Homo-oligomer: A and B are copies of this chain.
């Protein structure tokens, strides 16, 4: 049986690559999906394709719409949604995705450093698992798919 995993959230570290390398090394039957992680492309996709806007608010709105075409479809197809919160930025779109996925009844894994635990308590409480490292996410997927525990 094949599993589809959506990797939402933080785009400034290589956590997605770590997870994909880990599941690849274990030959897990998984496909990954994610938002566009090129920050500039993600910000400018709306105006680059549909024409410029004088007003930054509508510049952002156009881009958010185009990105939503991708992210909502991929979240709805996912078996498990992983949402990563990093140490910087507001990351409200990550929390939005977590709420969106929770209301759809998707299984959720939240990934964040321990210092965010208090601020994320409502988000963590909606998840089936809270991890601190991408390696733990790999271990979770291996267990969930194969029943295999680490070492």
Contact = CB atoms under 8 A, between A and B. Distances in A.
How many identical subunits does the complex contain?
8
Interface residues on A, range: 35 or more
Interface string A27-66: 0000101001110010011101110011111101111111
B91 A80 contact: no
Nearest to A147: B36
A117 B125 CA distance: 19
Interface in A113-151: 116-132, 136, 139-140, 143-145, 147, 149-151
A69 B129 contact: yes
Given A90-B91, A92-B119, A96-B123, 14 more contacts: A50-B131, A50-B140, A53-B55, A64-B121, A65-B127, A65-B128, A70-B143, A70-B144, A73-B80, A92-B123, A93-B95, A93-B121, A96-B96, A98-B99
